[in-house]
Structure 1
Amino acid sequence: MILPKRITRGDTVGVIAPASPPNYENLQKGITFLQSLGLHVKVGERLKSTYGYLAGTDQERIDDLHSMFADQSVKAVICACGGYGTARISDKLNYRLIANNPKIFWGYSDITYLHTAINQETGLVTFHGPMISSDLAKKDFDQLSKQMFLQLFEPTQIIYTEQLSSLQVVAKGETVAEIIGGNLTLITSTLGTRYEVNTKGKILLIEDVDEAPYRIDSMLNQLQLAGKLDDAAGIVIGNFKHAVAKNELPSLSLDQVLDTYFANLSKPVMKGFNIGHCIPNIAIPLGKAKLSTNDKKLIIAPGVI
């Protein structure tokens, strides 16, 4: 694993939109927050571009990402929002450029595809955390979630216990391994591609939003049939916001679906983590971690040096 360097007050961070176009008014509010941390902000040259449901053409979004990693004055790359589109550019990225210029890369949701691809192609530890347009501008965005950005300035061990949220043990165990993953839809979409998620001996993080239980069931079944659940050393179940049936037809509950795939695993599985499309949204580096159901604790090593 490659750890990026920490940033300092006065540094410049780059903001890009590698998926869908951001709400520009919300983007400005997010930039103001970054500036309040003592940071200078450089926005991607094509940040205002649109191409249907995408924040510009594939090449425009690639150019912005490459430009930020190549620019030696930019010390971190933060995504404005998710949506859709990162899978379209994953096979066209210059991973050697990224590996040769390791720096903080931050986002979640659709950015999961880039986390997976960058991790597997370069070994760079990236950050699964709230984004400046889709999250920071929300009126109810909380102080704890804002504080999570401070780990970019100092190596910080993340210790997640029930002091942050109620945690439930689905399957007992303890493991120390690299934590990977993020959005379940994006993880599943990597199957059969060059960037197929590698869960072997790793802790798999899953979360999602606006997916009915049958959809979550379908995706977990696909991961199971692909051997990804058996290969994993442990499972961290983040927030599944609005995971309810969309009509009045009979449905399994989210908990029933999760129990089907995880309750009988001989490895640690816990749910209830406020990681993902939720408030608070606890940001974590996708690096070395310890998951233990004995004391209901997830510990993640610092993501910067």
Structure 2
Amino acid sequence: MPIKPKQLQSGDTIGIVTLGSPINATTINEGIATLENMGFSVVIGDQVYNSNGFLAGTPLERASDLMAMFENKEVNCILPTRGGTGVASILPFLNFSVIAQNPKIISGYSDITVLLNALYEYSDLITFQSLLLLDFNNRTPAYNFNQFFAATSAIAAPWEITNPPGMPFVNKVSGDVTGPIVGGNLTSFVGTLGTSFEINTAGKILFLEETHEPINTVYRYLSHLKLAGKFDDCFGILMGECTSCEPSYGVTYNEIIDEFLVPLGKPLISNISSAHGLFKAAIPIGASVNMNTAELTLTVMESVVTP
């Protein structure tokens, strides 16, 4: 059974870390102020404001910040400032046993999803593909906050992962399957293939999304995953948006889904709002999810936090 972190409640302490690329202080401070106005206390990691080229400190420094948050008994939730580049480089420096003994809510998307899946694989911890610190501002749609707080605060089950109104799921291959959900950013997972941290898709429902990549590159990455066997043993496939992904040679993202993924014959739903899109569904990595393509439902079958 996966380990479930304690639910997030008003007044809890949120630990802020920068685990990949740096981000400007204005965005960090706006996010912290928003959290404090929501009633949370905030603890700031040593590397949060650091900037060393395209990284916020060395891999060991960034990993140490994360470990300090897991070991800090006052911290209830860990929120990275952003993803960017370099999150995978901290993985060898993490103590997954210590993390399993100190379960916390941790949320994010983009390059952070490599970490979220590694924490599920090696610490057995349910994690959340949902908001980053940079999303905590008054420009973020209410749907995104509702999704984040519903997933991290509610202990009732089952519950539905839903898109916002007017943005329906699309049934591409029919099926009704149940299994742990894993996945996140396509580019980030391709970068871990051949390492001890590559994504485990056996018996899982695989979610993928992408941003700012031409469609021929998306095809290349999907082909790489296929050659690595990642579609062979998964139970089903969920495709999120490909935000700002330009067609290549007239071929669109939806056509790649139809021409490359549909023939695999796995139950398949596309058009999941998430991650880099404007609207961000909260996806609990490691939780048991039922995927019913005929009903166009994604049902989380268990509570993902504890009282």
Quick check: TM above 0.5? yes
Is the contact made by 1:162 and 1:296 (CA closer than 8 Å) also made in structure 2?
Answer: no
Structure-2 residue corresponding to 1:292: 292
Structure-2 residue corresponding to 1:232: 234
Give ranges in structure 2 of 5+ residues lacking alignment: none
- In the TM superposition, residue 110 of structure 1 has moved relative to its aligned partner by 0.6
Q: Check 1:288–1:294 CA distance in 2 against 1; reply closer, same or farther (3 A cut).
A: same
Is the contact made by 2:163 and 2:272 (CA closer than 8 Å) also made in structure 1?
Answer: no
Q: Deviations over 1:134-164 (max 9, x none)?
A: x334x64211112223232222554135664
State the one-letter code of the partner of 1:169. N
Structure-1 residue corresponding to 2:19: 18
Q: Distance in 1 between matches of 2:49 and 2:153?
A: 28
Q: Distance in 1 between matches of 2:281 and 2:163?
A: 13
Match of 1:179 among 181, 190, 196: 181
Is the contact made by 1:178 and 1:289 (CA closer than 8 Å) also made in structure 2?
Answer: yes
Q: Distance in 2 between matches of 1:185 and 1:161?
A: 24
What do you get for the CA RMSD once the two structures are aligned? 1.6
Q: Deviations over 1:51-90 (max 9, x none)?
A: 1111112121111101000111111111110101111111
Q: Distance in 2 between matches of 1:140 and 1:117?
A: 31
Say whether residues 1:91 and 2:126 are aligned partners.
no
Q: Deviations over 1:5-45 (max 9, x none)?
A: 11222211101010111221111221122223321011112
SS in 1 for 2:35: helix
- In the TM superposition, residue 116 of structure 1 has moved relative to its aligned partner by 1.8
Q: Distance in 1 between matches of 2:57 and 2:187?
A: 22
Is the contact made by 2:82 and 2:132 (CA closer than 8 Å) also made in structure 1?
Answer: yes
Structure-1 residue corresponding to 2:281: 282
Structure-1 residue corresponding to 2:55: 54
Q: Deviations over 1:210-258 (max 9, x none)?
A: 011101100110111111112110111111101114xxx7242111211
SS in 2 for 1:205: strand
The aligned runs of 1:214-253 (5 Å cut-off) are: 214-245=216-247, 250-253=249-252
Say whether residues 1:66 and 2:67 are aligned partners.
yes
TM-score (norm 2): 0.93
Q: Distance in 2 between matches of 1:261 and 1:230?
A: 14
Q: Deviations over 1:111-154 (max 9, x none)?
A: 01101211111110000012112x334x6421111222323222
SS in 1 for 2:239: strand
Q: Distance in 1 between matches of 2:20 and 2:162?
A: 32
State the one-letter code of the partner of 2:203. G
Give ranges in structure 1 of 5+ residues lacking alignment: none
Structure-2 residue corresponding to 1:269: 268
Q: Distance in 1 between matches of 2:161 and 2:98?
A: 33
The worse-fitting range, judged by mean Cα deviation, of 64-73 and 156-165 is 156-165
Is the contact made by 2:186 and 2:209 (CA closer than 8 Å) also made in structure 1?
Answer: yes
Is the contact made by 2:77 and 2:105 (CA closer than 8 Å) also made in structure 1?
Answer: yes
Is the contact made by 1:158 and 1:284 (CA closer than 8 Å) also made in structure 2?
Answer: no
Q: Distance in 2 between matches of 1:177 and 1:153?
A: 22
